[in-house]
Structure 1
């Protein structure tokens, strides 16, 4: 079989499974809360798949495959899935399509740029250029909580601006420190708290 099927890519594939499940939930009945749970789970898997993969002894082909499959899965998890969720939230009018196209193009461009920089880099990457698409798994669920306290029209306008801001940040040429050490633990705790809120509070 083509592809790689060892332990170094298990978390990546699990993240993809969460993303596909989230898309299914969003488009079949608009189960937004559970779709957001899938988005956050995909984010958790993406956060830890790199460190886990590096624990395995990999040849150059396996390392290159890991980079490529991670980007492909990121495109599904943090570009396609959020757009499916936005649509299920009721942001399904034609003007929003333009926003979603911009979001998708910016996210894809950032992922491609990251791959190109990684391919040319001789050492570990310490900074990301532009906001990593993985942050969609935190930003969008957090701002969705505003829907609990705001009138629908006001919430929709604010959320549209959040999507636009994230779109710009994906391609803005700024350095974003790559999480390591305690940052992984903090992000993990935040994700777990959010998961608990979406599963047991909303």
Structure 2
């Protein structure tokens, strides 16, 4: 009746993308604590969705669909969402729009490269990522927001001008980043929870 593959193996990915759209709404409304909270949880969904998907028995078609849907959702959550953040929080509109364009181009380039490696089964065999995964922005920006607001209220707009180009560069820099093991998964989860707690203490 419908095209595509549907099942529990994609629910977490879809949920994370939905949260990213909600985060965009809160950014536009100026509700930054809610926006950053949704951004973090969206990142956690992406961090664990592969693990969840692999826990289900899937056909080859479902596995391939999962790879494609994950990348397309990442474009929304970790390319479009930071671009909206840059544009909405911009103290210097033209500069922020330019940085948003650079950021999105770098992010989608990183995602396209990863997809190609996955289809050639190179990413599966590797124990490392080449370039920083775009998902890491879901921790970098909220942590940056939290720290900047703790130090100097309202300084995040300036901090963003540094974080965005650095992250864009790291996406496409051919550097080997070890894939997270169980300890790193726990570290990311702990950092996300601490950041969420800190956001709601502001």
Is the pair's TM-score, using the shorter chain for normalization, greater than 0.5?
A: yes
Describe the SS at the equivalent of 1:176. Answer: strand
3-state SS of paired residue (2:129)? strand
What is the total number of aligned residue pairs between the two structures? 199
RMSD over aligned Cα, in angstroms? Answer: 1.6
Structure 1 segments (4+ residues) deviating >3 Å: 122-125, 154-158
CA distance in 2, matches of 1:42, 1:113: 22
Q: Aligned in 2, Cα 1:166/1:117: closer, same or farther, shift over 3 Å?
A: same
Alpha-carbon deviation of 1:60? 1.1
1:155 Cα deviation from its structure 2 partner: 4.8
- Residue 148, structure 1, aligned to residue 150, structure 2: yes
In 2 relative to 1, CA 136–91 (structure 1 residues): closer, same or farther, beyond 3 Å? Answer: farther
Aligned mates of 2:140, 2:173 — CA distance in 1: 17
Contact 2:139 2:192 in 1 (8 A): yes
Deviations 1:133-183 (A, max 9, x none): 01001111111121332375x653332111110010000001111112121
The alignment partner of 2:177 has SS state of strand
The DSSP-based 3-state class of the residue aligned with 2:55 is coil
Q: Deviations 1:118-144 (Å, cap 9, x if unpaired)?
A: 110164442111100010011111111
SS of 1:2's partner is coil
Moved more, 65-74 or 86-95: 86-95
Quick check: 1:130–1:169 contact (8 Å CA) kept in 2?
yes
Residue 30 to residue 155, structure 1, CA distance change in 2 (3 Å): closer
- Name the CA distance, whole Å, in 1 between partners of 2:92 and 2:32: 13
Structural mapping, 1:77-96, within 5 Å: 77-91=77-91, 93-96=93-96
Question: Which residue in 1 is equivalent to 2:5?
Answer: 4
1:127 aligned partner: 128
Deviation at 1:83, TM superposition (A): 1.9
Where does residue 162 of structure 1 map in the other structure? Answer: 163
Equivalents in 2 of 1:115, 1:107: separation in Å?
Answer: 12
Q: Kindly tell me: are residues 56 and 124 of structure 1, through their superposed partners in 2, closer, same or farther at Cα, counting changes over 3 Å?
A: farther
8 Å contact kept, 2:107–2:171: yes
The TM-score, its normalising length taken from structure 2, stands at 0.92
| Structure 1, unpaired ranges of 5+ | none
Distance 2:149 2:74 in 1: 26
